[in-house]
């Protein structure tokens, strides 16, 4: 993660990033002790979750831009709930 140090130095909230990196390293160290098949499954789940977060960020930016333009549609509560449920990390279910 050498590149992260340079990015971290340019961002506000460095203490939070340091704690997250430390926690993530601890998690990776623990995962490394598991059998290969378990590591693969965890990696697939983590990557899928990261992809969901990235898509959510794009959707949020698109939504903010639509609100700024006054161009938006209402969404039914159950549709919103379903989208939010889909974003919950597997570990929190």
Q: Let me know whether 50 and 72 are in one domain.
A: yes
What DSSP designation does 12 have?
A: S
Please, which pLDDT band fits residue 80 given cuts at 50, 70 and 90? Answer: confident
Q: Let me know whether 41 and 84 are in one domain.
A: yes
Please, which pLDDT band fits residue 85 given cuts at 50, 70 and 90? Answer: confident
pLDDT in tens, 9-58: 555 566 766 777 889 999 999 999 999 999 999 999 999 999 999 999 99
Range of the domain at 27: 1-33
| Total domain count, the chain | 2
Q: Let me know whether 43 and 76 are in one domain.
A: yes
**What are the backbone dihedrals phi and psi of residue 23, each rounded to the nearest 5 degrees, phi first?**
-65, -40
pLDDT in tens, 53-78: 999 999 999 989 988 888 877 788 88
Q: Let me know whether 50 and 87 are in one domain.
A: yes
Q: Let me know whether 49 and 61 are in one domain.
A: yes
Residue 4, CA distances (Å) to 10, 62, 67, 72 in order: 10, 27, 33, 37
Q: Let me know whether 45 and 80 are in one domain.
A: yes
Query: Which pTM value belongs to this model?
Result: 0.55
Dist. CA 57–CA 28, nearest whole Å: 25
């Amino acid at each position: 993660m050498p590149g992260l140090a340079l990015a971290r130095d340019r961002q506000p909230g460095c203490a939070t990033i340091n704690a997250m990196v430390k926690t993530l390293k601890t998690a990776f160290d623990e995962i490394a002790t598991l059998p290969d098949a378990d590591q693969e499954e965890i990696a697939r789940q983590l990557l899928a979750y990261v992809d969901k977060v990235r898509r959510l960020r794009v959707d949020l930016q698109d939504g903010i831009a639509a609100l700024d333009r006054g161009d938006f549609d209402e969404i039914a509560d159950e549709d919103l709930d379903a989208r939010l449920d889909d974003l919950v990390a597997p570990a929190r279910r």
